[in-house]
Amino acid sequence: MIQRIQTLYFIGVMLLLSSLLFGMEIFGFPTQKNYFSYSVYGVQRFNSEISVPLQKAENYVESILFYFVIALVLFNYFAMMNYKNLKRQFHLARLALLIYVVGLLSVLILGSLGFLVDNATSIKLGWGYYLSVIGLPLSYFAFKGVKKDKEILESLDRLR
């Protein structure tokens, strides 16, 4: 199992997605009086007035992104562990890639259009944004690796 390259890609995707669970900021929204930070735990508000230093964060909006990231990590693990049944692993890897693309696009659209915070003056991209974008090609390469193994096995079956 570990000698197959797609296993390393699956592990990379799982590590990058699980790093988001440490509270890395995906987007930051500075306003006139506050700073809003969007992570997998939701939107948190920090007070950023000149006379008052940054204080403890208050939860502003809860997020289902936390549960989505956990489910996607577990789904990638399940797809990786189905290495004995290549047909099932192929379908699971394709579905994991599709779910990853849809989830990433929905988070990017929500964040970039400013649906999360009103009166935001600009958008700052955090480390969580870059890590989630880096995980997408790894998920694609895992899918291509499973597809290549499936094609090799099918060509061997035709020779028999």
CA distance 107 to 68: 11
What is the mean pLDDT of the segment spanning 47-73?
Answer: 68
Task: Report the CATH number that the domain containing residue 103 is assigned in CATH.
Answer: 1.20.140.150
Global pTM exceeds 0.75: yes
Percent of the chain with pLDDT over 70: 86
- Does residue 157 sit within a domain? no
Tell me: pLDDT of 53 over 50. no
- Does residue 160 sit within a domain? no
Give me the domain span that covers residue 93: 5-151
78-119 pLDDT tens trace: 999 998 888 999 999 999 999 999 999 988 887 777 666 777
Q: How confident is the model at residue 1 (pLDDT cuts 50, 70, 90)?
A: low
Considering its fold, how many domains does the chain have in total? 1
CB crowding 34-50: b at 16 or more within 10 Å, else e: bbbbbbbbbbbbbebee
At position 14, the amino acid (one-letter code) is M
- Does residue 124 sit within a domain? yes
- Does residue 159 sit within a domain? no
